[in-house]
Amino acid sequence: MAQGSSDMETADQEESSPNMIVYRKIEDIITRMQDDKTGGVPIRTVKSFLSKIPSVVTGVDIVQWLMKNLNVDDLAEAIHLGSLIAAQGYIFPISDHVLTLKDDGTFYRFQAPYFWPSNCWEPENTDYAIYLCKRTMQNKARLELADYEAENLARLQRAFARKWEFIFMQAEAQVKIDRKKDKTERKILDSQERAFWDVHRPVPGCVNTTEMDIRKCRRMKNPQRVKKSVYGVTEDSQSQSPVHMPSQPVRKTTKEDVRKQITFLNVQIDRHCLKMSKVAERFWLAVQDLKKQPLLDVATRVEDIWQEFLAPGAQSAINLDSHSYEITSQNVKDPGRYTYEDAQEHIYKLMKSDSYARFLRSNAYQDLLLAKKKGKSLAGKRLTGLMQSS
């Protein structure tokens, strides 16, 4: 009886903590947003070129709902409030890793309750490694790793070299389960999982909201409430994830197994970087070609480039920062030969600072340098031998 009363007191303390109070208020707003009967935000499926985008809302709709239902008179304040909600991961843009709210036609999606921060998530790097490894196995343009994610994967691979087979097996098993799911459901779950990691492993330069709270104090009071594993790789996980997969029995890892997995992931990372470099190069060349087009063809070509590289769900999406994307989005409304000037400059800087530098560090380039050095060394020895014999 005393134990039961102690648990109740601990639960009450958890619910009355500052973070939890904020979370519950946000969740009340999110629940009202999704309630059609009380005038929630319209959730719809948008038809795009050769595809459909399921269960999305626009930034404009969210901002208008906040102003109407929360009695917010100032537009800037409504956008700020929406951005704070997005920063906690309750809503997220479907085509951007930066969790902020824009008052435009950008598509957003609601996060699944399982991934809400009120569940006291403290995911480990093992979970993050499983997630990134899984992404490399899925041949989808929307699941391509961003540059910072590819670098994180390489670091995690080195850090977890001894247990990488276990991580690889978990990721492989989850991919097999995902393939059995409905295509629309899988697309939604993939985006929700990505948004979860955008909160807990944010883009470099973005604020990590999970590091600005008092969770360490809460862990000390009630450590069993903290859910450390997202994918059920520990035995104390209490609830099932939409992407949950039971742990598989692990056989003893050999050096050959580790070597094979490291080789496989190195190939995957190199392939991803090469593909992203090629996409960036194609975009740069397309913009150069646009500048030479006859005036009558400019508007059509501007639209073609937008659909191929920048539109939501684009087949060859490029990695633009939010500032350049915003400027380009405005420029497209009044198409001209220099519509993509800012985006082209940003991509050029990325190729110069990242793609070229990565190429110089690549195994292929290093092998060429080594072969060249060996060739020079061999030629030098032959020349020395000839001089000595003469």
The answer to whether residues 320 and 346 touch, using CB atoms and an 8 Å cutoff, is yes
Angle between helices 125-137 and 255-290 (to 10 degrees): 60
When mean pLDDT is compared over 212-221, 235-244, 359-368, the highest value belongs to: 359-368
- Return the bridge partners of 47, or none: 52
pLDDT tens track for 23-74:
899 999 999 999 888 889 999 998 876 778 899 999 999 999 999 999 899 9
The whole-number average pLDDT for the span 75-80 is 93
Strand 91-93 and strand 44-48: pairing?
unpaired
Report the C-alpha gap between 237 and 194 in whole angstroms: 20
Among 150, 154, 185, 231, smallest CA distance to 55 is for 185
Report the C-alpha gap between 107 and 314 in whole angstroms: 14
Report the C-alpha gap between 342 and 323 in whole angstroms: 9
Report if pTM > 0.75: no
Among 136, 139, 121, smallest CA distance to 231 is for 121
The whole-number average pLDDT for the span 152-158 is 90
Q: List, in sequence order, the alpha helices (H) in the chain.
A: 2-15, 18-33, 59-69, 75-87, 125-137, 147-159, 164-179, 183-200, 215-221, 255-290, 295-305, 322-332, 341-350, 356-361, 363-389
pLDDT at 1: 46
Cα Rg, the chain, nearest whole Å: 25
Compute the half-sphere exposure of residue 346: CA atoms within 13 Å on the CB side of its CA. Answer: 15
Which pairs with CB-CB distance under 8 Å and at least 24 residues apart come from 155-159?
156/125, 156/128, 156/129, 156/132, 157/129, 157/262, 157/265, 159/125
Percent pLDDT > 90 in the chain is 22
3 state SS of 51: strand
* DSSP of 67-133: HHHTT---HHHHHHHHHHHHHTTSEEETT-SS----SSS-EEEEPPGGG-GGG-B---HHHHHHHHH
pLDDT tens track for 95-123:
888 899 999 999 999 999 988 988 877 78
Q: Which residues are CB-neighbours of 357 under 8 A, at least 6 positions away?
A: none
Per-residue buried b or exposed e for 151-167, using 16+ beta carbons within 10 Å of the residue's own CB: bbbeebbeeeeeebbbb
Candidate from 113-117, 154-158, 181-185, 264-268 with smallest mean pLDDT: 264-268
